[in-house]
Amino acid sequence: MDEEFYRMKRLPPYVIAEVNGMRAAARAAGRDIIDLGMGNPDLPPPDHVIEKLCEVARKPDAHGYSASSGIPGVRKAQANYYGRRFNVDLDPETEVVMTMGSKEGLASLATAITAPGDVVLAPNPSYPIHTFGFIIAGATIRSVPTTPDERYWDSLDRAMKYSVPRPSILIVNYPSNPTAETVDLAFYERLVAWAKENKVWILSDLAYSELYFDGNPTRSILEVPGAKDVAVEFTSMSKTFSMAGWRVGFAVGNARLIAALKRVKSYLDYGAFTPIQAAACAALNGPQDIVQKNRELYQKRRDVMVEAFGRSGWEIPSPRASMFAWAPLPPALTHLGSLEFSKQLLTHAEVAVAPGVGYGEDGEGYVRIAMVENEQRLRQAARNIKRYLQSMGVNSSAA
């Protein structure tokens, strides 16, 4: 009875939770913490979406069990979105399923298609569900780089040559969480060809599809002819429509994988609350100006953050997409490591960031910064960071 449960042995302590605990304790003590750690949008959903939620919630027959795969209207709305945005045709009946956020969808699909001992290729660093969703399902993870350069392709080829059993699943996530890296359609074309040659399923996480900057739209793997033969793609309404707590996402693509996901979900849940699904339809089918406004707001925050943090003495690469910046530690403080640096930033600058090591060993030396505070707060964070860096002997330009 004292032995640790099997799956708990495979789940290490969540590194980021340590910083989250410190942040909660600091706030409980009355300290004004500027939270750039969690990717939790600070913007509200569009008014018409909230109004649709309330309208349907007032109907007496809207409070029973819903459909685990999503009501027909919401699946059709998502198929229409892919048609408008990516010029991709999807069958709402066989190639679309609603999920409770992309995170749940990935975990449920992992349960559906993974056998104990399967080898899964996942990026490092990566969002934890990309690895631990499959570890929980019994898989073995082999890491590949996140940066989509030639080293990435060499790593894929080595994995196929030297892994036993051969990998059967590859996870991709662009724009990347945490690194904010992006890819073009040529990358996906090469990836689909590789997957077909090596008989590997591709699971693409496109949660940040609409948070792109500088007029460079993100691409979908399903734009590649024949991609549906090997790929499923996950999207989320969390960031696009500021609906993170609503837990609305989708999986689309290969009909066999979608069928497997539907079958598992039919045992696990009854789907999201029907009024939430109706509101998701209103978001997808209604005015899309809010998407552009949110994109412009995050781009402005990005520009303010990069400029203000740079003047504070901390140079941060400008992300091309997502709501995150992937920032190397200031060179003079790399010896601290990402976890200790995050703790010190919280304690001495009252700024919370996420330590890069929490996203995999290749994340060491970096922190993830979420652009979830307004411009004034970002400038305040920069001033606080400047004082901390100066106390550590790091020089900065005049703020």
- Predicted local distance difference test score (pLDDT) of residue 398: 41
- Most confident range, picked from 53-67, 187-201, 269-283: 187-201
pLDDT at 8: 83
Q: What would the pLDDT profile of 286-341 be if each residue is shown by its tens digit? A: 999 989 999 999 999 999 999 999 999 999 999 999 999 999 999 999 999 999 99
Tokens standing for 106?
């990935």
Q: How much is the pTM? A: 0.93
- Tokens 């303010």, residue located: 304
Cα dihedral sign for 290, 292, 293, 294?
positive
Task: Show Cβ contacts of residue 335 under 8 Å, excluding neighbours closer than 6 positions.
Answer: none
Residue in this structure with the two tokens 């995170």, named with its chain if needed: 103
User: How many CA atoms, within 13 angstroms, populate the side-chain half-sphere of residue 245?
Assistant: 7
Provide the pLDDT confidence category of residue 43 given band limits of 50, 70 and 90: confident
Q: Per-residue pLDDT for 75 more than 90?
A: yes
Around Cβ 158, how many Cβ atoms within 10 Å? 12
Which DSSP string do the residues of 255-287 spell out, in sequence order? HHHHHHHHHHHHHH---S-HHHHHHHHHHHHS-
- Tens-place pLDDT, residues 181-231: 999 999 999 999 999 999 999 999 999 999 999 999 999 999 999 999 999
